[in-house]
């Protein structure tokens, strides 16, 4: 039943809607009821239990996060709260209204704004920015004056003013999400529900989105319930719930969530890079949870008392066993939320073995079957020489140059539209370059014959799988395309099923697989002919943290054990840490080319030390700090992050600027690849804006 609205744009409801609890919330000093309250909520899809007795409470005015992998139940819970999905058991109250049926949901829908998952999924591609906003204002029956005032304010807040005439389909991913947010907020709801709003959005747009959202929510007194698969976004929420397989594993403030799994991270780097694989294999025998990030090995050490020195000694003692593996650097770090999440699953035996322990599952399998011709020397596997591609007057790729040695994991980073996918298509021979050369395995891809192309594996953003075929049928199809014999097909099929954890799903339709397993099947199909060079174009977009970690574990072994060269593009800056070398693209050009550590060191030398500021009213404090000249300041949930060129002097400047905000702590933080990406891209955007202003 559709909502009815009165002439002022407010929903027409009967007197019973104004419950006693809602009225109490408007009385100064009265106790605030929960805005959302779920008790033992259950939702089934046939035999599948999507929500397994979920209980949580959301306070008015907070940003509450639901964090977990695909299939955890996040979307089902959000849809139930939004009133678009009926639950089977349990009790749900929203705005103190008991939700039992569709009629109950209609009583509160005028106070809710829902933004569904997917870039621009609630928008219309052929309509302009302004036409989309007008359409949603019309749906909410806003008066012409109210629509005009709110539209102009939101366009200004989101910096979409000068794009009001651009069709939605021509917007970047970040701009689509900002427009989606505007359309969700146009009727000024009291509760906004956002389902993975930043998936597939580049880091600069992600940070801007969260800053805009936090500011708008505070100005209007709006509450937000948000889901995400990005564990690093937890710091942006006031409280979070970690979800897995329909259950809530834990809930609380993000800063305290890291104490849920006792332990810490020991980071170590081998003195001899050639011994890294041996170090990983030895550490795996003692520590069930670790990952390799480029040259760094991060080991989660279970510890009831979290003794840092004891944890470090455990790792070093393991590596010093005969034959000893010398370490150039070893330090103890606080565990990140993703580490804690995986530790919780492992410690509570809540995860499937193929996902929860990817290291153990893949060490033997990868080494057992994969075999490629090894280069006699450290030759170049990929080389771009002033590679360019023009589409009419538009320069999609502008004289790009870089080199990738055999066996290296090379990351190609950049925002949407930077030219990453175009570079890959030229290097794989799918697209002809306008000028320059693209060399792969020593051959120019413009003239490379079939023999060279058979040495290349390519996994596109679309995964290139046939969803109406089973897992085994997809593998056989690709084996036939590459001309494998029956025996070769059987051998490679066994390897793919083990590598991807797909043996129990061989006869399942590919469309029925979770995104993480589907993506590993696509990887297996790209590797079925044992290529020497592997191109991966945003292979983990939309994949949950557990799936991404398992995926990268496979890539690490392919690189280190079999010397497969891997060129990968990604939006996940945490994944950039896995790369040996990185080229950062901006507007079709390479603007940075170095290892992750080198890029971080350059940023620290150029812009200073990263500091976290703990203060009251962070959104307002952010504006004050930026006005005081700290342009790098950004919002991280209830805290601020800022780069200080002179930590001692600038720390005092920060405290002086924020005297009205009760600064309780300034803590140094390690730089991340996201910090590097945001700093470089933001600086270039500012330069471009100044250039355009000067030439106009």
pLDDT band at 603 (very low <50, low <70, confident <90, very high): very high
Burial class for 326, CB neighbours closer than 10 Å (0-12, 13-18, 19+):
exposed
Tell me if 509 sits within 8 A of 470, measured CB to CB.
yes
Query: What pLDDT shows up at residue 370?
Result: 33
Architecture (CATH level 2) of domain 380-594: 3-Layer(aba) Sandwich (3.40)
Q: For the residues 148-157, what does the mean pLDDT come to?
A: 90
Query: What pLDDT shows up at residue 27?
Result: 41
Nearest to 159 by CA among 202, 125, 197, 209: 209
Length of the chain: 696
Residue 561 token pair: 């054990």
Phi, psi at 530, each rounded to 5°: 55, 60
Reply yes or no on whether the pLDDT at 77 is more than 90.
yes
Least confident of 156-170, 326-340, 411-425, 439-453: 439-453
Mean pLDDT over all residues of the chain? 83
For the chain, what is the radius of gyration of the CA atoms? 26
- Beta bridge pairs of residue 298: 267, 291
Residue 436 token pair: 């320059």
Longest dimension (CA), the chain: 82
Write the CATH number of the domain with boundaries 258-369.
Answer: 3.30.70
**pLDDT tens profile 375-397:** 334 689 999 999 999 988 888 99
Strands (E), 212-285: 223-228, 239-244, 247-252, 263-270
Give domain limits for the chain. Answer: 21-256, 258-369, 380-594, 598-695
Reply yes or no on whether the pLDDT at 366 is more than 80.
no
**pLDDT tens profile 206-244:** 888 888 888 888 888 899 999 987 777 887 898 999 998
The CA angle 574-580-585, to the nearest 5 degrees, is 70
- Residue 374 CB: number of other CB atoms within 10 A? 10
Nearest to 593 by CA among 582, 603, 585, 604: 582
Residue 242 token pair: 């970690």
Residue 263 token pair: 């332990």
Q: How far is 228 from 581, CA to CA, in rounded Å? A: 28
Residue 693 token pair: 């202003």
Out of 3.30.70, 2.60.40, 3.10.580, 1.10.10, the CATH code matching 598-695 is: 3.30.70
Q: For the residues 144-164, what does the mean pLDDT come to?
A: 90
Q: What string of DSSP letters covers 433-450?
A: -SEEEEEETTEETTT--H
Look at the domain 21-256 and name its fold: Rossmann fold (3.40.50)
The reply to whether domains 258-369 and 598-695 share a CATH topology is: yes
The CA angle 683-681-120, to the nearest 5 degrees, is 130
Strands (E), 422-547: 435-440, 443-444, 456-459, 533-537
CA distances from 264 to 240, 291, 299 (A): 21, 14, 8
Q: For the residues 598-605, what does the mean pLDDT come to?
A: 92
pLDDT band at 319 (very low <50, low <70, confident <90, very high): very high
Query: What pLDDT shows up at residue 637?
Result: 64
DSSP assigned state of 186 = T
Query: What pLDDT shows up at residue 528?
Result: 92
61 in the Ramachandran plot: left (φ > 0), alpha (ψ -120 to 50) or beta?
Answer: left
Reply yes or no on whether the pLDDT at 653 is more than 70.
yes
Phi, psi at 139, each rounded to 5°: -60, -35
Nearest to 315 by CA among 269, 347, 272: 269
Query: What pLDDT shows up at residue 542?
Result: 60
Tell me if 62 sits within 8 A of 239, measured CB to CB.
yes
Tell me if 228 sits within 8 A of 65, measured CB to CB.
yes
Higher pLDDT, 352 or 508: 508
The pTM of the full predicted model, rounded to 2 decimals, is 0.75
Query: What pLDDT shows up at residue 449?
Result: 67
Burial class for 423, CB neighbours closer than 10 Å (0-12, 13-18, 19+):
buried
pLDDT band at 72 (very low <50, low <70, confident <90, very high): confident
Reply yes or no on whether the pLDDT at 21 is more than 80.
no
- Characterize 539-577 residue by residue with b for buried, 16 or more Cβ atoms within 10 angstroms of its Cβ, and e for exposed: bbbbbbbbbbbbbbbbbbbbbbbbbbbbbbbbbbbbbbb
pLDDT band at 150 (very low <50, low <70, confident <90, very high): very high
Tell me if 686 sits within 8 A of 679, measured CB to CB.
no
Q: How far is 51 from 289, CA to CA, in rounded Å? A: 28
Nearest to 596 by CA among 650, 538, 673: 673
Residues 6+ apart with CB under 8 A from 512: none
- Residue 694 CB: number of other CB atoms within 10 A? 7
Higher pLDDT, 345 or 299: 299
**pLDDT tens profile 542-558:** 666 777 787 888 888 88
Query: What pLDDT shows up at residue 394?
Result: 85
Residue 143 token pair: 């008066």
Q: For the residues 95-120, what does the mean pLDDT come to?
A: 90
The pLDDT > 90 percentage for the chain reads 42
- Beta bridge pairs of residue 355: none
Reply yes or no on whether the pLDDT at 505 is more than 80.
yes
Nearest to 330 by CA among 261, 263, 265, 262: 265
Residue 56 token pair: 């949580």
Nearest to 103 by CA among 2, 233, 199: 2
Q: Best-predicted range by mean pLDDT among 22-31, 114-123, 287-296, 591-600?
A: 591-600
The CA angle 574-577-580, to the nearest 5 degrees, is 155
């Amino acid at each position: 039943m559709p909502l009815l609205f009165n002439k002022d744009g407010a929903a027409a409801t009967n007197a019973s809607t104004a419950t006693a609890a809602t009225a109490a919330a408007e009385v100064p000093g009265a106790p605030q009821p929960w805005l959302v309250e779920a008790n033992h909520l259950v939702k089934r899809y046939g035999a599948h239990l999507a929500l397994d007795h979920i209980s949580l409470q959301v306070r008015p005015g907070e940003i509450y996060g639901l964090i977990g992998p695909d299939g955890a139940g996040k979307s089902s819970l959000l849809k139930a709260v939004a009133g678009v999905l009926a639950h089977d058991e349990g009790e749900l109250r929203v705005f103190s209204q008991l939700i039992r049926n569709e009629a109950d949901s209609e009583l509160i829908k005028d106070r809710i704004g829902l933004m569904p998952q997917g870039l621009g999924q609630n928008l219309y591609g052929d309509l302009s920015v302004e036409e989309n906003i007008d359409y949603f204002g019309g749906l909410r029956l806003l008066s012409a004056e109210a629509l005009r005032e709110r539209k102009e304010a939101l366009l200004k807040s989101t910096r979409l003013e000068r794009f009001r005439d651009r069709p939605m389909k021509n917007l970047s991913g970040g701009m689509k999400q900002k427009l989606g947010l505007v359309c969700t907020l146009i009727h000024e709801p009291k509760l906004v529900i956002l389902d993975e709003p930043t998936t597939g959005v580049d880091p600069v747009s992600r940070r801007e989105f969260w800053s805009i959202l936090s500011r708008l929510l505070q100005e209007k007194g709006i509450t937000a319930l948000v889901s995400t698969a990005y564990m690093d976004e937890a710091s942006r929420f006031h409280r979070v719930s970690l979800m897995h397989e329909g259950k809530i594993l834990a809930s609380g403030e993000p800063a305290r969530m890291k104490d849920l799994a006792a332990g810490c991270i020991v980071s170590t780097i081998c003195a001899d890079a050639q011994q890294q694989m041996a170090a990983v294999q030895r550490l795996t025998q003692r520590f069930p949870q670790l990952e390799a990030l480029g040259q760094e090995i991060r080991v989660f050490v279970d510890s009831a008392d979290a003794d840092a020195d004891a944890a470090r000694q455990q790792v070093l003692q393991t590596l010093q066993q005969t034959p000893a593996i010398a370490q150039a650097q070893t330090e103890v770090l606080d565990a990140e939320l993703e580490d804690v999440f995986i530790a919780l699953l492992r410690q509570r035996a809540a995860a499937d073995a193929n996902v929860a322990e990817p290291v153990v599952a893949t060490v033997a399998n990868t080494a057992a079957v994969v075999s490629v011709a090894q280069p006699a020397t450290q030759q170049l596997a990929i080389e771009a020489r002033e590679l360019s591609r023009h589409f009419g007057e538009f320069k999609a790729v502008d004289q790009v140059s870089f080199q990738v040695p055999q066996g290296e994991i090379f990351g190609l980073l950049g925002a949407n539209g930077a030219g990453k996918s175009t570079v890959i298509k030229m290097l794989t021979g799918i697209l002809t370059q306008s000028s320059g050369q693209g060399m792969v395995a020593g051959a120019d891809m413009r003239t490379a014959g079939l023999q060279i192309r058979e040495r290349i594996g390519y996994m596109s953003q679309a995964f290139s799988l046939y969803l109406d075929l089973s897992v085994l049928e997809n593998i056989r199809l690709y084996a036939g395309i590459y001309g494998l014999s029956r025996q070769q097909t059987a051998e490679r099929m066994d390897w793919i099923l083990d590598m991807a954890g797909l043996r129990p799903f061989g006869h399942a339709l590919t469309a029925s697989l979770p995104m993480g397993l589907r993506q590993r099947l696509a990887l297996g199909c790209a590797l079925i002919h044992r290529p020497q060079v592997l191109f991966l174009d945003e292979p983990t977009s939309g994949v949950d943290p557990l799936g991404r970690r398992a995926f990268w574990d496979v890539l690490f072994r392919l690189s280190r054990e079999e010397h497969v060269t891997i060129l990968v593009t990604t939006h996940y800056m945490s994944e950039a840490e896995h790369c040996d070398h990185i080229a950062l693209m901006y507007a079709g050009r390479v603007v940075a080319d170095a290892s992750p550590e080198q890029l971080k060191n350059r940023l620290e030398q150029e812009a200073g030390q990263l500091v976290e500021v703990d203060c009251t009213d962070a959104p307002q404090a952010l504006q004050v700090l930026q006005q005081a000249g700290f342009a790098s300041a950004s919002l991280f949930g209830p805290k601020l992050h800022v780069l200080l060129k002179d930590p001692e002097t600038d720390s005092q400047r920060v405290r002086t600027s924020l005297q009205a905000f009760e600064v309780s702590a300034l803590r140094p933080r390690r730089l991340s690849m996201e910090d590097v990406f945001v700093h470089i891209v933001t600086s270039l955007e500012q330069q471009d804006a100044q250039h355009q202003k000067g030439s106009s």
